[in-house]
Structure 1
């Protein structure tokens, strides 16, 4: 391109490039790049000129060439597919792009489009030896970053991304590699954010983000690897978040967040490996929480944050915090959509035992037996009710002693008021209502009273009840004690 073919605005940028100087066409700091379609030729750059500048502009000795432009209107298609620009930083801030830039496979040192307005961005399989800054950008189309390698951070704070129909992928970062943070607080996105297979050496920061894809996947992060934290604090998410098979070494932080997908799962983290999962200080999740087969080191969950339905079959965690009474934790297990899951009760029991709360651990085991009872046939349920009433399945042994004292008192009073006649008056010992009742109640021990006397009438019926009750009580005690002794 000949220099005499350039407009005054293009010539100004061309001359500044060799010295790395900044060209600012803006008339004020608060100018809105969304109005760029009406900007005149005095601040218009043709995409073909920008391309020629980056590919062929002469260097100036002793200077570092760089493209630094603010407030320009860029017309035409900026196509730098597979271009090698590893020596020129590019900064096109607060610019208005008439057409989607096509930068597939490009290699460059640093790219900043801060505050710009674009109809989309094609940057797939690119290599950026520095940072990629899309902060405060408004992009009404797909941002294609699939397979891109960024040696620095990706900045998307205060950006606004909108898919053309509001439903398709709006940000594609699948298989991307980011060697620093994905920094996107206050991001607003309407459409799917695709992170499956991506790798982030730092953290993913989506604090106060507003993500919307009603009743569909809004974050698809299957097999995502994050070496730091995944932060969704104070975020509002409509749609579901998918983290199947993901690995988050630090925190998956949903504190103060509102996840809403009432007709389906709100969070799917099946088979994920997470250092710490924080669900605290926010409204209850609307939709199902799916943590099947997930592995979590620290589960920081406040009961109020849990939705009405959870799926925790195979969930493994080392510690559960904050410390809450068992009565506050058990509803989580009772809401399990998979039904009775013994492993879930064992996990909660183990968490209480690690902190020395044996009372809570026993309550969880009691709740496990009661839940198991509901899955049995009628005769199993009946026997379960007997064990529960008698000794609380072995976890409330003093209850058996209470039953024994009550039945002993009833029998002693009844037989003291009217002694049963002796079978052999000459050989019978003196009648003792207390030990006679004990002889009826205790199946093994004998005090010589039961065999010497024969009650009649309603006393005989009472004797049968005491004998039967004694056997049932003894069997329940033995079953409960065996369960208690053999528990891990």
Structure 2
């Protein structure tokens, strides 16, 4: 069968020696510029193209082989292994000028190999793994640390049993992830320190699960576009870890995405988060994060501040202080002070609350004098003068002449109670007035 004319050679299930494919690729200059193209062949022996340098494409569509395909350090124009059935594809340091196709591939690395190894590989264009199945009993089903691509990476409709590792990868376009990622006792999708020039889509039926660790770990990643988690689900003790990651545009984060804790400390993004309301975000930060952290609240507040949502900014800041009080590392006295400022001035963001407490203290003083001390004769003066006395005795800086006209019978038990109680109420009034002023001027606001 003619293999050098650049046309697809359909073997219809027939056999082709692996050594023949290697021989043709070694002498690639004898091939048509379209390269070597084989379809529906059974490859006999191990296809070893390690260190082969060929300026021609290689297409082995819907082929099968019983041995791993070796591509270590190979240099090719393009590689199309669509529909390949093999134990594994090993291509660390592989160099492709254009594209890599592994759509619909079935790779089972077993206990010896990664199903797909693209460690430090470089692809000038895009990588398509659409509809592929990867399974490995080793730690990684797809092992692609420091993979570099010039365009998109498609991991859609994928079934991966074992970790998909993109740690330190550089992707020149978008990253599309969809399908089922089963990490088992390990991480399902590991993309620490990944850099994506475009957007990251963990959507279109994306499912990631981990029994022991993190389902999706993208800590320290840099995303130039959007982070889209729409129509996806991640489940595990920690569902999503995007700590210290930077997203250049919006985050689309429906609350149904995370079935487990979410680590957002250090995550930055532009604009308001999409696909969830403010109440959902506040609940997420307070109850689904592993620990108290200031930055996620500050980032959310900054986004609403930029949008002109001043009322929402205050809600976020108050929720932050409540979380700090509940989970933050405060001393006993610090926690007590937090409770006081929270109840009186809303941690400095609702100073009018302290004014209401002050008015309540004054009202209690008036009720004490006119309702208790006056009727039993412990305070002798008219009702109007009793009100003036009550205000003068308690209100900060108030100087009314009612005190001079009213006489308190301190020799009686009720009179003594009145005097002591007004002292206490005066202290409270001074405290509430001070807190109101401090809250109004922002002195008690803390953003630790």
TM-score norm. by structure 1 comes to 0.78
2:429 and 2:322 mapped to 1: Cα distance?
A: 18
Shift of 1:222: 1.8
1:124 and 1:215 mapped to 2: Cα distance?
A: 25
Ranges in structure 2 where 5+ consecutive residues have no aligned partner:
110-114
Shift of 1:347: 4.3
Deviations 1:65-100 (A, max 9, x none): 5212111111101112111211x2211101111211
Equivalent residues in 2 for 1:33-432, closer than 5 Å: 39=13, 43-56=14-27, 59=30, 64=33, 66-86=35-55, 88-141=56-109, 142-163=115-136, 165=137, 167-207=138-178, 209-233=179-203, 234-239=205-210, 240-262=215-237, 265-276=238-249, 278-281=251-254, 283=256, 285-298=258-271, 300=273, 322=277, 324=278, 328-335=280-287, 339-371=291-323, 385=339, 387-394=341-348, 395-397=350-352, 398-400=355-357, 402-404=359-361, 406-410=363-367, 411-420=369-378, 432=385
Deviations 1:246-291 (A, max 9, x none): 11111222112110113xx222222222224635346352222122
2:312 and 2:418 mapped to 1: Cα distance?
A: 39
* Superposed CA RMSD: 3.0
Identify if the C-alpha distance between structure 1 residues 345 and 293 changes in structure 2 by more than 3 Å, giving closer, same or farther.
Answer: closer
Identify if the C-alpha distance between structure 1 residues 381 and 217 changes in structure 2 by more than 3 Å, giving closer, same or farther.
Answer: closer
Shift of 1:443: 3.7
Shift of 1:157: 0.5
Q: Is the 1:393–1:480 contact (alpha carbons within 8 Å) kept by the matching residues of 2?
A: no
Identify if the C-alpha distance between structure 1 residues 417 and 287 changes in structure 2 by more than 3 Å, giving closer, same or farther.
Answer: same
User: Which residue pairs with 2:392 in the alignment?
Assistant: 439
Identify if the C-alpha distance between structure 1 residues 434 and 292 changes in structure 2 by more than 3 Å, giving closer, same or farther.
Answer: same
Ranges in structure 1 where 5+ consecutive residues have no aligned partner:
1-11, 27-38, 304-321, 423-427
Deviations 1:334-353 (A, max 9, x none): 33766554555544444443
1:291 and 1:137 mapped to 2: Cα distance?
A: 35
- Number of residue-to-residue matches in the alignment: 425
Deviations 1:152-187 (A, max 9, x none): 111100111111x2x421212112210011112111
Identify if the C-alpha distance between structure 1 residues 110 and 288 changes in structure 2 by more than 3 Å, giving closer, same or farther.
Answer: same
Q: Give the number of the structure whose alpha-carbon radius of gyration is greater.
A: 1
TM-score norm. by structure 2 comes to 0.84
User: Which residue pairs with 2:112 in the alignment?
Assistant: none
User: Which residue pairs with 2:439 in the alignment?
Assistant: 483
2:29 and 2:337 mapped to 1: Cα distance?
A: 92
**Range with bigger deviation, 435-444 or 283-292:** 283-292
2:10 corresponds to 1:24: yes
